[in-house]
Structures are given as C-alpha cells and as structure tokens.
Amino acid sequence: MGTSLEMKNQKALHEPRPYQSEIDLDRMRSLLQVGRQAANGTYYVHIGDLNWWLYYPPLDHDLWQYIHLWDDPANPDRLLGWSLLSPQWSAFDVVVQPELRGTPLAETMYTWAEGQISNITRTRGKDRIYVMWVSQGDDVLNNLLQRHGFQRTPDDVAYMTRSMEEPIPVSDLSEGYRVCSVGNKVEERAAAQYGAFESGAPIEVYLQRYRNFMHAPIYDPELDVVVVAPDGRVGAFCIAWLDPVNQIGLFEPVGTHPDFRQRGLGKAVMFEALRRLRERGMTSAIVCTNQNNLPAMKLYEAVGFRTADVHLTYKKDIS
C-alpha cells in the first residue's frame, strides 16, 4: 500500500482544484508560453486570448468559477495542466505541459473536462458540446477527440502570422480622420464594437461591460487603438496583446463599425498597432478568423498576414 503522500500526489494528478488567485493566472499564462516555445504540434493560445476571455467575459456569467487546475506534485509553482469551461459556448479548453502530450494523464484531463461541460450543458437545456483551437496537424489531439466521439464542424479558423521585419506602411486617411489610443473615447469605443459585432445586448449593458474591462489589471490603453472620425465617433478599433517570452503580438479583437467600412480604417488601426507592438519588442504578430469571413481575411492579408495553420472545431452530441 502506498504512503499517504503518494496517495495525495496520485489524487493531484487526476483531480483538479478550483482557481484561487492571480498566482494561478500567472501559472496558466506561463504554461501557455512554455507550450508555444515547445512547438510540438499542439496549438497553445496566446496569453492575450486568455486575458480577453477572462476579463471581457460573456454577459451572462463569470468564467473565473469555471477554471480548474492540476498542480505538479513535484513543483508547487508549476501546473501540469488547466481547464477552462465555457457554458455560453458549451465548450471546453484543456492545456497541458508539452511533455504530457499524448500521455494517459493528458487524456484523463480531457475526459474530466468533457464530463464537466457535458453536465453543465445538459442543465442549460442543450445537447452538444464543442472543442476549439485544434491545429489540423495535431494528430495526437485530433485522434483523441475522434476516439471520444467528436466530429469536425465546418468552422475552420485561419491562424495568420506576420513578421515585424516587413515594412509597416503609413496609412493615407481622409482628412479629419486620426489614429490614436482610445483615450477618453470610451462610449464611442464601446459603440463601435457594439456595431461591428452586431451585439443584441442593450447598449447600456455593453458599455458597462467595456468599462469594467478597461479597469482590469491587464488592460493597456496604449494597445487599445482606434480611428476617430471627423464627427468624433470611433470608426475602427483593435486591441493588441503582448507575449514578451515568445515576442509575439496578438490582435483580438479587430473591427470596423458598419458606417465606416470600405474606407481603409481597419488597415490604419492595425498598422498603428503593429508599430506599437514592434516598439515593445515583438518580432511577429498573429490574428485568427473564420476562413469563411472573407472581409476579415481580405483585411488581414492586406495588412501583411498570411495563413500559417488552420484550427479545427469539434462537436459532440451528448443527448
């Protein structure tokens, strides 16, 4: 019979614990950065994605309560993996240390998270769950999901990259338009995003959501870039995120209000953000969009991004 310590360690390997503090968030980010450095075929989302998901959450719930972590029994400052459940999307993410790729322990983590999101999804009256951000070349994860009964959806996402060594043009905007940080244009910034993404929420709720985000500890106003029109409205916007370890910038989100499309504002705001990313030491940048979103694909290609990978989405009926 094993010792009590061995039994405790074995439990830690199979049963996650709830999120507790920002120390956990730092460990989650560190795992994402280590995963990107490993470049082992599994896609690790940018730390900016995680920041955006957590600090700009869906309107109807708080994602913090849906984070679970597997501690490393050999190193209290290190995670073996973490999971984020997304009830609104009936989806789940599992991130594991690179050396665990393809191991029974990694599959145990996926199985646990799948069971949790399945239970939550049923209580919400739905009968299908999803896994996103699966690299088409990741045979290990693709095979695991297929063994678990998941099937591909047609919602393929283009993973696009751009080197900072490429020239960053200066945009030629119409008179009266200017590119700048968001500054005091909070209501106008929220309204632009509200219109660009055709939100169905009340504008007052949407505005408060954005104000809350701007007070988050991860928010950098210099990387929230906008184009202000002559009438004072925000015509286009983007937020850029830093990964200082891998020196990769991320764009999330990017948008143009419907009243200002086809005027080059999207390119202008992204070029300015690229300059700011380069000034902060980033050597490349990434952006993702559904391959069927032709206007977004056209914009990103015009800014110099090229598709480097395709990310798959999987679904599974749980009825």
Q: Do residues 10 and 112 share a domain?
A: yes
The CATH number linked to 218 is 3.40.630.30
Nearest to 32 by CA among 49, 20, 18: 49
Burial 142-157 (b: 16+ CB within 10 A, else e): bebbeeeebeeeeeeb
Flag whether 307 is in a domain.
no
- Both tokens of 147, joined, read 């063994």
127 in a structural domain? yes
Tell me, yes or no, whether 196 and 248 share the same domain: yes
Count CA within 13 A, CB hemisphere, residue 273.
35
* SS3 call for 178: strand
In a domain, 205, yes or no: yes
Could you give the C-alpha distances from 98 to 33, 103, 194, 232, 295, in angstroms and in order? 11, 10, 38, 48, 35
Are residues 144 and 15 part of one domain?
A: yes
**DSSP letters of 92-128?**
EEEEE-GGGTTSHHHHHHHHHHHHHHHHHHHHTT--E
Judgement on whether residues 141 and 171 belong to the same structural domain of the protein: no
75 lies in a domain?
A: yes
- Tell me: do 102 and 127 sit in the same domain: yes
Residue 243 maps to a domain? yes
Domain residue limits at 95: 4-157
Residue 7: pLDDT band (50, 70, 90) is very low
pLDDT at 259 over 50: yes
Confidence at 15, pLDDT banded by 50, 70, 90? confident
Question: Are residues 106 and 240 both part of a single domain?
Answer: no
Condensed to tens digits (0 to 9), the pLDDT of residues 92-151 reads 999 999 999 999 999 999 999 999 999 999 999 999 999 999 999 999 999 999 999 999
Q: Which band of pLDDT confidence, cut at 50, 70 and 90, is reported for residue 12?
A: low
Tell me: do 201 and 151 sit in the same domain.
no
**Overall domain count for the chain:** 2
Q: What is the mean pLDDT of residues 176-197?
A: 96
pLDDT value of residue 154: 96
Task: Kindly state whether residue 30 falls inside one of the protein's structural domains.
Answer: yes
pLDDT in tens, 48-73: 999 999 999 877 678 999 999 999 99
Q: Measuring CA to CA, which residue among 248, 206, 194, 241 is closest to residue 222? A: 241
